[in-house]
Amino acid sequence: MSAQKSSNPPSDDALSKPVEAIKGVGPRLAKQLCAKGLTTIEELLFNLPLGYLDQRGGIEISGLRPGDYVSFVATVLSAREVHYRRRRIYEAIFTDGTGTVTGKWFHYGRWLSQRFPRLKGKIRVSGRLRSFGRRLEIHHPELEEVCEPVEEERGTIVPRYSPIPGVAPRAYRRIIEEVLTTFGPQVEETLPDAVRDYFRLPALRTALVQVHFPTELPSIENRDRLAPGLRRLIFEELFFLELQIIRSREVLAQETGHPMTLERDYLRRIGKLLPFALTQAQKRVMREIASDLGRRRPMNRLVQGDVGCGKTAVALLTAFIVIANGFQAAVMAPTEILAHQHCMNMSPYAEALGIPLTLLTSKLNSGEKQRRRQAIASGNARLVVGTHALIQAQVTFARLGLVIIDEQHRFGVIQRMSFRQKGGSPHVLVMTATPIPRTLAMTIYGDLDVSVIDELPPGRTPVETRILDARNRRQAYELLRQEFSRGHQGYIIYPLVEESDKSDLKDVTSMADHLQKDVFPKIRLAMLHGRMVSEEKQEVMTAFARKEIQLLVATTVIEVGIHVADATVMVIEHPERFGLSQLHQLRGRVGRGPHRSYCILMHQGGGPETRQRLAVMEQSNDGFRIAEEDLRLRGPGDLAGLQQAGFGDLRLANLVRDVNTLEAARRAALALMQKDPDLAKPAHAAIRAKLQRQRSQAAELLRTS
């Protein structure tokens, strides 16, 4: 596709058109696309393939590799219901003469058993290939009858996109082809020619065609080498991220905040209330915060530290300093459970100092919510704790001086922007227990100064972590019984709330019933998951904290902030389904008291690579090392809240794999802003337009968040 100037309408107009503008997309299809978040031409163009199916010579079963997403043509050897782990599943065996693959459906309707007898010819089978012993399996594969030669049989590379309910993969590919043909020529180049030439990047239009419908794929020995089109799009994504970060810092540098004074007598009075002495790391970070608070420029600081390092104590001291200067302080947590816990933990100190404290969450009844909003608006509520309800438009503050955002990776820049609009440039302190390598933190949190609490309080005993084969589950149950007999408590974590029709993973709902009836009939047990109503969740957590419950069967809703000193055992089922950083967060819920504590990873399936990855948890309690290993293996994902960043989501870049591209993009962005700080030159009009679109999208997200 040519990169020359087009006489077509400007790309801003073309790319912002609704999907109904595409030939063949009617109201029903448009509704299905919009339900997936694909509402405009631009969103379709940048909804890139998850991977590709290489059908250029025909793929035989004997050549398939476990772990890959595969697609092959076969016939049905057999199909029937079978018994599997105390329940019935549907199983089909496919063959192409070179081998067999078993398809499994763990939950299914009558339609499936009725469909198979009608499948007479060749079937295209697609899905993630697994290996169990010597048997190859695909769980819930996609099936497509091969009635005539189709694109896959013609020796092409077929893009594979995230599934869209109601839209067949072949139909979606036709839509993308139409978009590229009709609107591709109207895509305007966004990178300066000098940047593209220096870094040898193809034109944007060319890159989009290459990524959606490549003619070549890297060879097996060069599989980690990025195709030119993808490298171009990754560079662009990082380039605009860095432009936004640079501009954000410049805007913040021009803001005028509220300098705070520190009264030593007041600080000593607060210090006497704390039942422990601050660590040297906490004292160092408090000095950095105190220095920020004394300046006219608003503080904008990230405090990161491992689980249990004492970030909450630092936040509490910072809030009391600001309140002593006549301002309000707000603490925003990602979940109601954590917000309630912050409120309970801060309440004794607030009462001792005569500071009115208010909790605001979205689940309060309307009358109580209105009363608390009035207390916040009048300034009677000096310390406010809540969830995202705090940034709703109806909430106003009398004199907001400090915003504390806990678990920063759950929120993002949009939420910080929202608070700034409420408070007239308040100081901002954000915290995360997800350790991030400093170079990565400086990129992701480029508008923040970074502090690290790298020391745990004395007396904390490292949690002993063991990997246990799921077939030896009874050993974990026996360990729990031993700890219960000592008056201690435990958790068992599952990845699902209820049974799924897509997998055979264990779930909280059915396992809580099984554990109570068959395993721990004399133990007080409760269930906790995100679908429970707020009051019920809080009742369960309060009962667990009071030791009225010995075993909590939960999802990852307990991942952050839950502090129960007598909880000494954490059993995690299907740990292969979680990232290492998330496992470390979960493990941090035990070992918070003086007792020896354990984390059992109940490993099942996944092969030697998964076992090797989990071994990192056995070897280390260092969150930074674990985070680095997680980043190396999995990439950052949504580690830093970039889904809400308003910078354009990092949908393509892996900040570990693409670190060299990131550095190059940052150099290019800095050079551009030095030459043309306002992007006023005609050559930079497309960049200015794209940044404006991103700001508009961020503002809309902020308005509706």
The verdict on 496 and 468 lying in the same domain is yes
Q: Is residue 705 part of a domain?
A: yes
**Domain edge (last residue) among 453, 483, 501:** 453
Total number of domains constituting the chain? 4
Structure confidence by residue, pLDDT tens digits, 121-141: 888 888 888 887 778 999 888
Q: What residues form DSSP beta bridges with 386? A: 332, 360
CATH number for 127: 2.40.50.140
Q: Is residue 379 part of a domain?
A: yes
Q: What residues form DSSP beta bridges with 75? A: 95
The verdict on 84 and 116 lying in the same domain is yes
- Percent of the chain's residues with pLDDT above 90: 33
Residue 698 has pLDDT above 70, yes or no: no
How do beta strands 400-405 and 427-432 pair?
A: parallel
Q: What was the pLDDT predicted at 151? A: 46
Q: Is residue 293 part of a domain?
A: yes
The verdict on 613 and 468 lying in the same domain is yes
The verdict on 614 and 682 lying in the same domain is no
The verdict on 587 and 528 lying in the same domain is yes
The verdict on 211 and 122 lying in the same domain is no
Q: Which residue has the higher pLDDT, 413 or 87?
A: 87
Q: Which residue has the higher pLDDT, 606 or 363?
A: 363
- Average the pLDDT over 482-507 and give the result: 79
Q: Which of 211-220, 349-358, 407-416 comes out lowest in average pLDDT?
A: 407-416
Measured CA to CA, the distance from residue 661 to residue 170 in angstroms comes to 33
Q: Is residue 92 part of a domain?
A: yes
Residue 5 has pLDDT above 50, yes or no: no
Q: What was the pLDDT predicted at 634? A: 59
Could you please report the per-residue DSSP string of 402-449? Answer: EEEESSGGGS-HHHHHHHHHHHTS-EEEEEESS---HHHHHHHTTTSE
Residue 148 pLDDT level (bands cut at 50, 70, 90): low
The verdict on 614 and 506 lying in the same domain is yes
- Average the pLDDT over 311-335 and give the result: 91
The verdict on 392 and 478 lying in the same domain is no
Q: Is residue 645 part of a domain?
A: no
The verdict on 449 and 469 lying in the same domain is no
Residue 9 has pLDDT above 70, yes or no: no
Helix, strand, coil share of the chain (percent; to 5): 45, 20, 35
Structural contact between residues 19 and 38, judged by C-beta atoms closer than 8 angstroms: yes
User: What Rg, from alpha-carbon coordinates, does the chain have?
Assistant: 28
Residue 50 has pLDDT above 70, yes or no: yes
Q: Is residue 209 part of a domain?
A: yes
Residue 330 has pLDDT above 80, yes or no: yes
**Domain edge (last residue) among 453, 473, 500:** 453
Measured CA to CA, the distance from residue 69 to residue 50 in angstroms comes to 10
Q: Which of 193-197, 288-292, 448-452 comes out lowest in average pLDDT?
A: 448-452
Q: Which residue has the higher pLDDT, 246 or 178?
A: 178
The verdict on 249 and 275 lying in the same domain is no
Q: Which of 78-82, 200-204, 529-533, 626-630 comes out lowest in average pLDDT?
A: 626-630
**Domain edge (last residue) among 427, 453, 479:** 453
The verdict on 269 and 362 lying in the same domain is yes
The verdict on 267 and 213 lying in the same domain is no
CATH number for 476: 3.40.50.300
Q: Is residue 486 part of a domain?
A: yes
Domain that holds residue 154: 51-160
Q: Is residue 179 part of a domain?
A: no
Q: Which of 194-203, 474-483, 551-560, 604-613 comes out lowest in average pLDDT?
A: 604-613
Structure confidence by residue, pLDDT tens digits, 571-592: 999 898 888 888 988 898 898 8
Name the residue among 212, 206, 202 with its Cα closest to residue 235: 202
Residue 643 pLDDT level (bands cut at 50, 70, 90): very low
Q: Which residue has the higher pLDDT, 213 or 561?
A: 213
Q: What was the pLDDT predicted at 427? A: 92
Measured CA to CA, the distance from residue 339 to residue 262 in angstroms comes to 27
Report field, pTM of the whole predicted structure over 0.85: no
The rounded mean pLDDT for the chain is: 82
